[in-house]
Amino acid sequence: MRTGTVIASINKYINNQANFGAKIAFSLIAMNRADLIVRLAESYPQLQVKDAELGAKVIIDAMSDTLLKGGRVEVRGFGSFSLNFRSARQGRNPKTGARVQLPAKYVPYFKAGKQLRERVDNYLYAHRIHPLVYNSRSQVMGKHPGQ
């Protein structure tokens, strides 16, 4: 599913919600590198956009380099990035159903820190926002805590 289709699905979901807090939270659903740069430049007026862009690039590159070397990146209060090993296994081609051998690989893994988990949980409950969950076919489904 294309990104535009996913965003359209999210918009449709939010517009169908009776809870207007979900509309406010939409701007927080997805953030990419460009959004991060804009937010940095807006938060720190003494930085030019080029400076914010360079700062974001340096941080992301440093984190990537550490993971490439097999290391772990920990940001206190936010979470940690590490690598998980996935052993070789038999898989299936979803289109044909044929068995396929999948090779062993390392995949990046993020574990949210305690402060981030608590902050997100408290915010969602306080504003009665239903988090958006993607199913295996990348369709947006509303999921209320307790369902």
Q: Is the pLDDT of residue 139 over 80?
A: no
pLDDT interval class at 9 (50, 70, 90): low
Q: Is the pLDDT of residue 118 over 80?
A: yes
- What fold does the segment set 71-113 form as a domain? HU Protein; Chain A (4.10.520)
Q: Quick: pLDDT tens for 65-115.
A: 999 999 999 999 999 999 999 999 999 999 999 999 999 999 999 999 999
- The pTM is what? 0.62
Q: Is the pLDDT of residue 52 over 80?
A: yes
pLDDT interval class at 15 (50, 70, 90): low
Q: Quick: pLDDT tens for 21-50.
A: 444 444 556 788 898 898 899 999 998 999
Q: Taking the domains of the chain in order of start, what are their residue ranges?
A: 71-113
109-117 long-range contacts (CB < 8 A, ≥24 apart) are 109/81, 109/82, 109/83, 109/84, 110/79, 110/80, 110/81, 111/79, 111/80, 111/82, 112/78, 112/79, 113/75, 113/76, 113/77, 113/78, 113/79, 113/80, 115/77, 115/78, 116/77, 116/78, 116/79
Give residue 107's Cα distance to chain centre.
15
